[in-house]
Amino acid sequence: MMALSELTDDIIGSMAVGATFSDFGGQINSLDFHRTEDLLITASEDDSIRLFDIANGKLLKTTYHKKHGADRICFTHHPHSVICSSIHNLDVHGESLRYLSMYDNRCLRYFKGHKERVVSLCMSPINDSFLSGSLDHSVRIWDLRVNACQGILRLRGRPAVSYDQQGLVFAVAMEGGAIKLFDSRHFDKGPFETFLVGGDTAEVCDIKFSNDGKSMLLTTTSNSIYVLDAYGGEKRCGFNLDPSPTAMEATFTPDGQYVFSGSGDGSLHAWRIDTLNKVCSWDSHIGVASCLKWAPRRVMFVAASSVLTFWIPDHRSPGEAAGVQEEQVTLTQ
């Protein structure tokens, strides 16, 4: 698999399905790449958490979590430890978040506090802090080393959270198109900046910073995508997608030059931000892709519905690629 170098329109246009994992027993709720290792983690409706080696296209481990379920998930800094939100028995146990070891299938810590489902989860890139946003209209700040919540932000509507790549700032998006920026070290002082995304009052279901920290990517429940200037909040561009029964995810490429997204018609799209041109569209081969992320260190992205697909460059001629696609081997481990 290619290591990440400068991406071009030709490389983007050559992306094709390289591996398929189709043995999930339900929708894949969320997924995450490790920042420094070639690992991918998924959380699914079938209560499974699965760890993949993306360099070799292999499933490494599957664990099941029938008591709590598996909804939002993200890696910690350790390659075999994750944070996962619960979807079952929240009103009984209150154990809305768990710190899990994939190495020995052990829960290292429970985090209690959220009264309803967690819909957004993000690990700090520089320390043991992480953020969770819940349908109980709160964002909580946590530290992996202690059970107690470190801070609570009370908000309107469904919150989406994200750290910038330096871990110095985090963003919280909420209903009405409001985005608040906080200093990670002094969040108790309130936001130091607030942006309003005019013209769209739909709830934000996902927010991300580009790697260079200059842009933010918003995906709304009305199936719109916006790229914003992270410093001033100005809308750099926006894209509208076909309606979807589920919230969809968009992703930056690691160089911040392209945006990828699924759509309600089962297609995938890539746009170049500086020209606003659509570079390519593909049939996803898996229906509506609710999860979509680009690997941080590889020329690769993954798309998922109830099926997981790895996409990599295909440098064969169009005729050769089409022939191979018909005979594509499905990896189910």
**Rounded to an integer, what distance in angstroms lies between the CA atom of residue 164 and that of residue 18?**
30
List the chain residues with pLDDT less than 70: 1-5, 91-94, 198-200, 316-333
Tokens linked to 211: 């790697």
**What radius of gyration do the chain's Cα atoms show?**
19
Q: What's residue 243's pLDDT? A: 83
Tokens linked to 5: 């170098």
Q: How many CB atoms lie under 10 A from the CB of residue 314? A: 17
Q: What's residue 322's pLDDT? A: 42
Q: What's residue 189's pLDDT? A: 94
**Rounded to an integer, what distance in angstroms lies between the CA atom of residue 284 and that of residue 267?**
5
Tokens linked to 190: 């309130």
Helix (H, G, I), strand (E, B) or coil at 54: coil
Of 168, 175, 160, which Cα lies nearest the Cα of 208? 160
- Model-level pTM? 0.91
Strands 215-220 and 224-229: antiparallel
**Rounded to an integer, what distance in angstroms lies between the CA atom of residue 207 and that of residue 316?**
35
Q: What's residue 321's pLDDT? A: 45
Alpha helices in the chain (DSSP H): 9-13, 90-93, 318-326
Q: pLDDT digit string (tens) for 157-177?
A: 899 999 999 999 999 998 777
Tokens linked to 327: 């005979």
Cα of first residue to Cα of last residue in the chain, in angstroms, is: 20
Tokens linked to 333: 């481990």
Helix (H, G, I), strand (E, B) or coil at 42: strand
Residues 6+ apart with CB under 8 A from 263: 223, 241, 242, 244, 248, 269, 288
Specify which residues 315 forms β-bridges with: none
Of 210, 212, 206, which Cα lies nearest the Cα of 225? 206
What is the residue whose two structure tokens read 């290292």? Answer: 108
Q: pLDDT digit string (tens) for 57-70?
A: 999 999 999 999 99
Q: What's residue 202's pLDDT? A: 78
